[in-house]
Structure 1
Amino acid sequence: MIYRKIKNAYFLIALSAGSIFSCQSCSSGKEVEQPIIIPPTPVVVVDKNWTFEATPFWADEFDYTGLPATAKWDYDLGGSGWGNNEKEYYTNALANASVADGKLSITAKKESMNGMAYTSARLVTRNKLDVLYGRIEVSAKLPTGKGTWPAIWMLPTDRAYGDWPKSGEIDIMEHVGYDQNNVHFSTHTEAYYFKINTQKTSTKNIPDASTAFHKYRVDWTPYAVRGYYDGVMVFEFANEGTGYKVWPFDKRFHLLLNLAIGGDWGGAQGIDDTIFPQKMEVDYVRYYKMIEK
C-alpha cells in the first residue's frame, strides 16, 4: 500500500483491492477513511479461434440397459421447488430415468410423492465430469404438452463467486410445452439474468423438436459461450473482460439433464394432466476438450 499527501489529505492507495481511501476531516475533527471506488479496468480478451479435440474425452452413448451409468451420472433429489416453484419430486428410480434401445429416457409421471404431485428425474455430472471450457453436444428429442419444462444446462461446481446467479449458468437447451417448438439458449450472470430482464438469450423455432432428435451444443472458450442447434450457431455471448459479474465462466461447470413440471416458466399457463407420462429422450452426450493455444 502507498500513502500520498495531497493538499493536506493523505490518500491510501490500496493496489491489491483496486480502491483508494482518502483521509478527510469530519465534523468531529477526527480523520476518517472514505473509499473512492475505482471501477476495474476492462481487459481485452482476444479470440484465439480455439478448436476442440475430434474424439470425445467423455461420452455416454447409452449402449446399455437399466439405470444411467453410476460412473458418469448422479442425481439431484427432492421436491423443494428448486427456486422456480416447480411441482415435481426428483427421484433416482428406474421409472423416471432409464436406458434402453440406445437411449436415455427422463420420464415425468403424474403421481404423488412426498407432497408433490409429479415425479421426474434430474441427472447431473457433478464430481464425475466437471469441466473448464470445451464442447458439449447432446442429441435429444423433447417432450410436449402444457406444463413440461425440459432442460440441458450447466451449473458451476464450486460456486467460486457466490450463489446463483453470481457464479453463472449456461442453458444449452430449454423448452416449455405451451410454446411448442421454440427452443432457447441462454446464459445467466450477476449482471445479465432473467429476474432483472437482462439475460442473454436466443430462440430458434425447431418445427419437429418433439418428434425428432436434434443436436444441442455449446462451444465454450475463454472468449465466448456459443450455442449451436443442428450445427448452426444460434447464440454468442463474448467475454467483456470486466470481471466475474459479467463473465463467471472461468471456473469448472458440470452438466444437468432434467424434465421439470410446472414452475414459474414451465407452468405459466398451467399444467395439462392429460399429457402424462411425458419424456425427454437423449441419444448421446459428448464432451470434447478445448485445444489450448
Structure 2
Amino acid sequence: MPLNLSHKGYSALSKLALASLAVCSFTTAANELGKSAESQASEKINWRDKGWELVWQDEFNDAKLDRSKWNVVVNCWGGGNNEQQCYVDKPDNFEFENGKLHIVARKEEHTGPAERERSPNYDPNNTKTLPYTSGRIRTNNKGDWKYGRFEARMKLPYGQGTWPAFWMLPTDEDYGGWAASGEIDIMEAVNIGAKTDANGKLSDAPETRIHGTLHYGAAWPNNVYTGTAYKPPGGFSPATGYHTYAVEWEEGEIRWYMDDVHYATQTAEGWYSEYTDEAGNKVRRPQPAPFDKRYHLIFNNAVGGAWASNVNEKGIDPDIFPQRLSIDYVRVYQCSKDPETGKGCASISEGAKLVKPGDGH
C-alpha cells in the first residue's frame, strides 16, 4: 500500500496529518499506476511439482470460524487510514455457505474501541462510532511461519469504497514498529468494478487491478514501500468469480501470483530494515531483514479510507452494500527441499516483473 499510510499499518497519525498525507500520497500513487503497474505476465506455472508440502489449511467447511486458527479483531480504529468500518465479531459479518467464508461489510452504524488492541492507548471505554461494520481475522500466535507458499482462493467485493486484503504482518516485531519489521501484502484491491483511473485519469472502463506490495524501511514516518499492480488478462473482473492469489517467500526473495501466473518478484537487494543508533546514525540491518522472521496471515474487508476513497470515482458508494470478501480456502506450504530457507521450490516465469526500489503500486 502506498507510502506511509496503511489500512493495516501501525502509525498514530493525527486526523489533520492523516488527511493531508492521504491526499498527497494516493493522488501520486494513482498517477503512477498507469505508468508502470500492469504486468505482461500471462503464463501459468505448474508449481505443484516443485516440492511444496502442505503444512496448514482452512477449508471453511464447519460453518463457523475455527478459533484455534483465527483471532477476530474488534475495534473502530480505522486502520490508521481513516477507514469507515468498525471491525466486529458478529455472525452477520462472518457468513458461511457451502464451504466458503464470507467477510461481510455492511452499512450500519456501530460504536467500539477507538484504538487497536496493541496500542499503548487502548482503552475499551474510549470509543468511536463509524457508519459501517466489517470483519478482520488473523492467525497471530496460532499460525506463524518464516518462508513458504501462502495461497487463498477468493472472490472480491466490488464497487467504489471497497478495499479487501489478504496479507501478512510480523508476529514479534523484532526490528521495531511498522514498517521496520516489514509487511507483505499478498493481494489488495480497491474499488473493483468502479471506473478505472489506471492511465492517470478516469475512464469508463471498469477497475480490475489487484496489487502486491512490500512495506519496510524504518519505523513510521520513515517507512517506504515497493509493489506493482496486475491487470488480469482477458478483461475479467476479480469480483465476478473465484481466483487464487499467492506469494512464494524464500530467503531473500518474494514472488506474487494470480491464478498460477507469476506476475511480480522482489528481492533483498531492493528492501531493507533500518534503525537510528544512540549517536543518531541510521544503520541498516543485514539482509534479508526484515523479511526473515515469522509472520502471520490476515484477511479483512475494509471500507473507504485514504486509498480507496481517493482514487477511481472517489468516496464511498453507500448503495452497493453489503459487500462480501468470499474465501473458499487458505493454504500454507513449506518447501520440502529446504524448509529453513524456503529455497529450491521456486515457480518462476520470465514474464514476471522485477520490482525495483522506487516502484509504486
Q: Which protein has the bigger helix share?
A: 2
Instruction: Return the alpha-carbon distance in structure 2 between the equivalents of residues 146 and 264 of structure 1.
Output: 13
Q: Which residue of 1 aligns with 2:106?
A: 109
Q: The residue matched to 1:151 in structure 2 has which SS?
A: strand
Q: CA deviation at 1:243?
A: 5.3
Q: Work out whether residues 52 and 289 of structure 1, in 8 Å CA contact, stay in contact via their aligned partners in 2.
A: no
Quick one: which of 195, 202, 208 aligns to 2:228?
202
Among candidates 162, 166, 175, match of residue 180 of structure 2: 166
Q: Which runs of 5+ in 2 are unaligned?
A: 1-48, 112-128, 197-206, 275-286, 344-361
Give, in whole Å, the separation in 1 of the partners of 2:222 and 2:159.
Answer: 28
Aligned to 2:213: 186
1:288 corresponds, among 316, 322, 333, to 333
Q: Note if contact 2:167-2:299 (Cα within 8 Å) is conserved in structure 1.
A: yes
For 2:169, which of 138, 152, 155 is the aligned residue? Answer: 155
Paired AA for residue 61 in structure 1: E
The alpha carbon displacement at 1:197 in A equals 9.4
Contact (CA 8 Å) 1:68, 1:98: kept in 2 or not?
no
Distance 1:166 1:272, change over 3 A: same
| Greater C-alpha radius of gyration | 1
Deviation at residue 227 of structure 1 after TM alignment = 0.6
Structure 1 stretches of at least 4 aligned residues deviating more than 3 Å after TM superposition: 51-55, 195-198
Structure 1 position 254, deviation (Å): 0.4
- The 2-side partners of 1:242 and 1:97 are apart by 36
Any gaps of 5 or more consecutive residues in structure 1? 1-50
The 1:145–1:196 alpha-carbon spacing in structure 2 relative to 1, beyond 3 Å, is farther
* Equivalent-residue separation in structure 2 for 1:252 and 1:150 (angstroms): 23
Q: Tell me: higher relative CO, structure 1 or 2? Use CA pairs within 8 A at least 6 residues apart.
A: 2
Distance 2:85 2:333 in 1: 32
- Corresponding letter in the other structure for 1:127: N
SS in 1 for 2:54: coil
| 2:260 alignment partner, one of 219, 225, 231 | 231
2:90 corresponds to which residue?
93
C-alpha distance in 2 between matches for 1:107 and 1:288: 27
Evaluate the alpha carbon distance shift between residue 156 and residue 274 of structure 1 in structure 2; reply closer, same or farther with a 3 A threshold: same
Q: Secondary structure at the match of 1:265?
A: helix
Report the secondary structure of 2:107's partner residue: strand
Counterpart for residue 242 of structure 2: 213
User: Aligned pair count?
Assistant: 241
TM normalised by structure 1 equals: 0.77
**2: CA distance between counterparts of 1:128 and 1:52?**
27
3-state SS, counterpart of residue 214 of structure 2 = strand
1:192, distance to aligned residue in structure 2 (A)? 11
Alpha carbons of 1:167 and 1:276: their partners in 2 closer, same or farther (altered >3 Å)? Answer: same
Give the C-alpha shift of residue 272 in structure 1: 0.3
Question: How far apart, CA to CA, are the structure 2 residues paired with 1:104 and 1:55?
Answer: 24
Instruction: Report the more deviating stretch, 197-206 or 280-289.
Output: 197-206
Q: CA deviation at 1:72?
A: 1.1
For 1:76, the equivalent position in structure 2 comes to 73
**1:57 matched to 2:99:** no
1:279 equivalenced with 2:324 (yes/no) = yes
Contact 1:104 1:281 in 2 (8 A): yes
Contact 1:226 1:233 (C-alpha < 8 Å) held by counterparts:
yes
Change in CA separation of 1:88 and 1:158 when aligned onto 2, cut-off 3 Å: same
Q: CA deviation at 1:136?
A: 0.4
Q: Quick one: structure 1 residues 163 and 284, their matched pair in 2 at CA, closer, same or farther if it must change by over 3 Å?
A: same
Q: Distance between the aligned counterparts of 1:197 and 1:275, measured in 2? A: 34
- Give the aligned residue type for 1:187: L
**Letter of the structure 2 residue corresponding to residue 190 of structure 1:** G
Say if 2:242 is the partner of 1:244: no
- Deviation, structure 1 residue 215: 0.7
For 1:243 and 1:280, locate their aligned partners in 2 and report how far apart those are by CA, in whole Å: 32
3-state SS in 2 of match to 1:86: coil
Give the % identical residues: 41
Conservation of the 8 A alpha-carbon contact between 1:52 and 1:135? no
SS at match of 2:305: coil
Deviation at 1:123, TM superposition (A): 0.7
CA-CA distance at 1:52 after TM superposition = 6.6
Query: Does structure 1 retain, via aligned residues, the 8 Å contact 2:52–2:149?
Result: no
1:267 CA displacement: 1.6
CA distance 1:156–1:198, change in 2 (3 Å): closer
Corresponding residue SS for 1:199: strand
C-alpha displacement of 1:107? 0.2
Which residue identity lines up with residue 168 of structure 1 in the other structure? Answer: G
1:56 aligned counterpart, secondary structure:
strand
| 1:98 positional shift | 2.4
- Please report the RMSD computed on the Cα atoms of aligned residues, expressed in angstroms: 2.2
Alignment of 1:6-17 (within 5 A): none
